[in-house]
Amino acid sequence: MNTLILSIILVPIIEIYLFIKIGAQIGAFNTISLIFITAITGIIYARYEGLNTLKSGFSQMVRNEIPAYEIISGAAITFGALLLIIPGFATDVLGFLIIFPITRKLIFGKISSKFKNKNTKKNDFIEGEFEDIEDDNER
């Protein structure tokens, strides 16, 4: 089954389950308040981290370096902020994990190590020798 379809089905089921369990423990009003508080806090922190990433990217551009990490990090922060806007506790936890710099670096390290292993296994080198031939007929 397609991963996207599976996640579209499973994420709301998990969120509804968590709403019911947490709502039974702390009450409906407190659950709704907690959802709004995590969303607002997450958006404020995502904005802060996004501005820090933007500053870091500009400083790398000034030094004539490509801000590859900052571009990927900015996209991840945007995705994390989107997860925080979506009401739910599981998406909030995942959103906060993506927004925090320490866990974001760990996630990027795991993902990049998978891509590095694929690229290092394949060596497309052609070995050979060459000889410099000078043209005797000068024009």
pLDDT of residue 111: 82
Dihedral over Cα of 101, 102, 108, 109: its sign: positive
Question: Looking at the chain, how many residues does it have?
Answer: 139
What band does 136 get if pLDDT is binned at 50, 70 and 90? low
The pTM is what?
0.73
The whole-angstrom separation of Cα 106 and Cα 110 is 6
21-68: per-residue pLDDT in tens? 999 999 999 999 999 999 899 889 989 999 999 999 999 999 998 988
